[in-house]
Chain A
Amino acid sequence: MSPTPLIEGRRLTKRFGEFVAVDGIDFRVERGEAFGFLGPNGAGKTSTMRMIGCVSPISDGELSVLDMDPRVDGTRIRGRLGVVPQEDTLDLELTVRDNVLIYGRYFDLPRSEIRERADELLNFVQLSDRRDDRVDLLSGGMRRRLSIARALINRPELLLLDEPTTGLDPQARHLVWGRLYQLKRQGVTLVLTTHYMDEAEQLCDRLVIMDDGRIAAEGSPRQLIDRHSTREVVELRFLTDEDRDRALPQVAAVGERFEALADRILLYSSDGEADADRLTNDGVRPDSVLVRRSSLEDVFLTLTGRTLEE
């Protein structure tokens, strides 16, 4: 770890009146890594991002971004950030290219440089052929890619992405992931929030799991799974709740741990196939059995007792 992290929060707190959105969290983001805030809606991820982006004043604690204090250096910090907000904030009536050009002027970049860079960036996010179309004609995935291109106009060291693929179809998500992965390889530090565990696993070197304004766990996806879950999970689905409840005592006797959800039982196990066989021999007859690797979803479930999508 380098001595000065790119972002450091200590007891960072955000209150809206009586409501505590972020409740004294500690975290640090190192240069060049892809760092994620994973958690369900309402966990405080967006509030944290807005504080890092220097648009929302911190209520308490300390925050340093690029070695500066957002309270005094907001404008300077924002000049070195790229921000992709959760809800698109594009000028719908302007063309794709004009959106990038105008955004560049907020950073006071010379027009000639913006024009050159805009063409590069539209190429990078595969929107060159749509450059003269109005934004309101673009699909959600294209708009998100345009938001990313726009956020890169000032060559930011740090790119903040709030729920970068929420609301996109799978193909559009993969396109966005591909571009973000590319940026990471170019050395851009990525900080993103997500409530998709697959997104966190794909993109994040390191992440914190947030719940109810607090950080529940921190580490790489692998570390978190090793620490808080078993190697494999057996998913048992039942046709009725009665069938499910009848199976519970036998399920409890095998594996390491189990979680009973509304429609299924998750059995945590070091050897899923063996445990699944054992249950079949014991006479458990689920409608379907799936053995899979543990995921961050399981980590979240273990830590909070809830699923991410709730």
Chain B
Amino acid sequence: MATPLTVRVVEHQAAIFRRFWRGSATFYVLNPVMFLAAIGFGLGGLVDESSGHVAGVPYDAFVAPGLMAAGAMLGAGAESMWPVMAGTKWVRTFHAMVATPVRPVDVYGGVVVWTAVRAFVGASIFLVVAAILGAVLSPWGVFAVPAAALCAAAFAAPLTAFAATQETDARFPLIMRIGILPLFLFSGTFFPISQLPDALQPLCVLSPLWHGVELCRGATTGSIDFWPAVVHVAVLAACVIAGWRWGTRSFTRKLSQ
């Protein structure tokens, strides 16, 4: 049977990754683990001393799934912008792909799928480390891994689509600073959103990361209910689908004129 065209692009991304996996490992695994050590255990010790628990669990168990989802988002942010610019303009490897049976939509799909795969692998390793350190409270925690991958895809799909509409990388740092970073800080990653001013709390529903964090946390603490989980998955899936529709168009426009 023929290998799907999208998978052939994923193979390319994986080959590049094999070349640079050391740098990526730092980004995907070491950074979140360092965050977990500093914030979960360092800061967490203080938090637990003063208040006992956060949202009913020790602080390290609270923050670990938040970091897991946030790490997936950060990875997706980095993977979906500069490397896409390299593929369309700087090194033009995407142009090489569309000269073969691969179509622009397959290039788009391959990039997004690979970003999700990488997030899946990164989250798996993070989960193991967090479990060893006692920050995973429930065997349901394994579902946090696909949740983190879905969270990554929810960002990768629209950002990859967007990156192909750009002629330069001038706007990418802006997206990181005014988009990704505020989400990182205020999506229930480090503290429950109930700490936010009342007026701002409903806005968290708009953050895909909040849905990802809730899913991961629900899994690792074993506290999630069915219907909220369905809603979180649906919101993240909607981001993927909307991004995908945009991406098939933006990649076709960019690569086949």
Contacts and interface: CB of A to CB of B under 8 A. Distances in A.
Interface of A: 16, 50, 53, 55-57, 74-76, 78-79, 81, 83, 85, 87-94, 98, 101-103, 105-108, 150, 154
Interface in B96-131: 96-103
Interface stretch (B5-13, B185-193, B240-248): B5-13
Contact of B96 (A74, A90, A93): A90
16 contacts: A50-B257, A78-B100, A78-B101, A89-B92, A89-B93, A91-B16, A91-B91, A93-B19, A94-B15, A94-B19, A102-B15, A103-B100, A105-B12, A106-B100, A106-B102, A108-B8
B99 A85 contact: yes
User: Which DSSP category, helix, strand, loop or mixed, fits chain B's interface?
Assistant: helix
A85 B96 contact: yes
A100 to B, nearest CB: 12
Interface in B11-27: 11-12, 15-16, 19-20
Given A85-B99, A107-B101, A92 B8 contact: no
Contacts, number: 77
A105 B99 contact: no
A103 B101 contact: no
Contacts of B11: 102, 105
Given A83-B99, A94-B19, A101-B15, 5 more contacts: A57-B256, A91-B16, A105-B3, A106-B8, A106-B102
B53 interface: no
Interface string B127-150: 000000000000000000000000
Contacts of A55: 95, 98-99, 255-256
Contacts of A85: 92, 95-96, 99
B93 A106 contact: no
Interface of B: 2-3, 5, 8, 11-12, 15-16, 19-20, 91-93, 95-103, 255-257
Q: Which 7 A-B pairs have the closest CB atoms?
A: A89-B96, A106-B100, A83-B99, A89-B92, A79-B101, A75-B101, A89-B95
A89 B15 contact: no
A89 B96 CA distance: 6
Contacts of A150: 96
Contacts of B99: 53, 55, 78, 81, 83, 85, 89
A76 to B, nearest CB: 7
A74 B100 contact: no
Given A93-B16, A105-B8, A108-B3, A87 B102 contact: no
Nearest to A150: B96
B12 A102 contact: yes
